[in-house]
Amino acid sequence: MSGNNYSDDEALVKAARHGELAAFEELVFRHRDQIYARAFSMTRNEEDAVDLSQEAWIKGWQRLKQFQGESSFTTWMTRIVINLCLDHLRKQKRQRADSIEEMDDESGGVERQMPVVTVNPTAGLERAELRKKIDAALGQLSAEHRTILVLHEFEDMEYKEIAKTVGCSMGTVMSRLFYARRKMAMLLANVRKDI
Amino acid sequence: MNEAQQLKLQALLDGELPEREAREILAWTQRDGAAAALLAELKNTRQALAKSEPHLSVSESREFYWSKIEREIQRLEPRATSATGFSILARLRRRLLPASALATVVIAGMIAHFNAPQAVVENVADADATSVETTLANSDATTYRDANEGTTLVWFSPAVDDSPANNNIPAAIN
C-alpha cells in the first residue's frame, strides 16, 4: 500500500475515499469475517452469505463518500449487509408459495402453547459449546423470526429501529421476537428438536 | 395469560416500557407464578444469546474473496480508482493548474509591460516593425510581433471553455 502503515480504520477509510483501492482492500481483509458472519446469521446459507457480503463491500465502496463517521466503519458496513440480506430474504419469500407452515410462523400459534422452560438450559455450558448450540438452534428458526432475533440480540437494536429497518410494525417486531425467544428456549433445552 | 400480557413481560425485560408501566408489570410478576416463570425463561434465553454469537470466517482465501469485489468495482467505475502514486500526482496536478496559469499570465504581462510601450510609441508609424493581428477567425488567438525587439507574443482567448484557469493564457516566443 505505497509504504503507508495504517493503524486504524479511520485512516484507511480516508485513503479509500480518495480512490485508493489498496486501502479499501485492507478494510475488507480486516472486517470480512464480521460482515460475512452477519450475512450468514440472517440467511443460514454459506454461498448466499459470501455473495451478499461481497455485494455489501461493493456498495460500501460506492457509498464511501456518504460515510460521515457518526458510527464505526464496521457498524456502517453491517447496516449495508443487513439491508442486502433483508432484500434477499424478501425475494426468497416472494418466490416461495404460501403454506400453512409459514402462516404458523407469522402467527406464532405453536409457540404460544409451549410449556415454559423452568431450568436454564445453558447453565454450566462452555462458551464454545454454547455457541455451537446457539448456532444450531438459530438454523431451525424461520427467516422472519431469526432476523428479528439477530437484530435485537446481536445488533442491539431497539424495537422501533428494527421495525424501521425491516419495514413492519412494532407489534410485529415484538410478536416475532417473543416467539423466536420461546422457540430458542425450547431448542436449547432440547425439548423439541424438530420444530 | 394472553398474548398482550406476554409481550408486556418481554418489553419489561428489554427495557421498552415506560417507568410506571414497568413498575406495574414487575409487581404482577411478583404475584403471578406463571408470569414469573415466563419472565425467567425469556431472561435465560436472552443471557444465553448475549455475547454468544457464533464466530464464523469466510472460507475463501483473501485474494479470491477480494478478486470478485475488485473486478466489480473496476467494472462499475474503471477510471475512479487508482494506485496511490497516481492519485497523489493527479491531485497535485489539479491543484497546481490554476497557479501555473496565473503565473504564465503574470510573466506575459510583465513582458508586455516592459516591451510594449516602447514598441508601440517608437514603432507606431512602422507597420512592418510592429504588428498586432488576429490569427483565428473566432478570435481564439492574437499575435503581437515586435520586429525590433525580435519578440512575438501570442495571446490565447478560448472562445468555448470559459473556466478561469483556461482564460487568457499568453505565451511568449522569442
Asked if A22 and B52 come within 8 Å (Cβ–Cβ), the reply is no
Average pLDDT for B52-61: 89
Distance between CA atoms of A22 and A4, rounded to whole angstroms? 10
Q: Which residues of chain A make contact with B44, given a CB cutoff of 8 A?
A: 117, 120-122, 185
Q: Quick one: pLDDT at residue B95?
A: 61
Q: Which of B49, B62, B89, B91 best tests the A interface by mutation, with the highest count of A CBs <10 A?
A: B49
From the list B99, B149, B95, B159, the residue with the least C-alpha distance to B121 is: B149
Residue with cell 509504504: A3
Q: What is the pLDDT of residues A148-167, one digit of tens each?
A: 999 999 999 999 999 999 99
Q: Which residues of chain A make contact with B79, given a CB cutoff of 8 A?
A: none
Residue A23's contacts (CB-CB under 8 Å, 6 or more residues apart) are A1, A4, A6, A11, A12, A13, A15, A16
Asked if B37 and A116 come within 8 Å (Cβ–Cβ), the reply is yes
Distance between CA atoms of A153 and A160, rounded to whole angstroms? 14
Domains of chain A by start residue, with CATH: 9-93 (1.10.1740.10), 100-188 (1.10.10.10)
Rg, Å, chain B Cα set:
40
Q: Quick one: pLDDT at residue B132?
A: 55
Nearest-Cα distance to chain B for A187, in Å, is 10
Q: Residue B140 in contact with residue B162, Cβ under 8 Å?
A: no
Nearest CA in chain B to A108: B3
Strands B130-134 and B141-146: antiparallel
Pick A181's closest partner by Cβ from B45, B50, B58: B45
Q: Which residues of chain A make contact with B80, given a CB cutoff of 8 A?
A: 19
A118-132, B5-19, B153-167 — most confident range: B5-19
The torsion region of residue B134 among left (phi > 0), alpha (psi -120 to 50) and beta comes to beta
Q: Which residues of chain A make contact with B70, given a CB cutoff of 8 A?
A: 21, 25
Nearest CA in chain B to A119: B41
pTM for this model (two decimals): 0.68
Does the ipTM exceed 0.85?
no
Above 70 in pLDDT, residue B120? no
Q: Quick one: pLDDT at residue B108?
A: 76
Asked if A19 and B3 come within 8 Å (Cβ–Cβ), the reply is no
Asked if A36 and B56 come within 8 Å (Cβ–Cβ), the reply is yes
pLDDT tier at B79, thresholds 50, 70, 90: low
Q: Residue A51 in contact with residue B69, Cβ under 8 Å?
A: no
pLDDT tier at A59, thresholds 50, 70, 90: very high
Q: What is the pLDDT of residues A69-119, one digit of tens each?
A: 889 999 999 999 999 999 999 998 887 755 544 544 555 566 666 778 877
Above 50 in pLDDT, residue B161? no
Percent of chain A with pLDDT over 90: 67
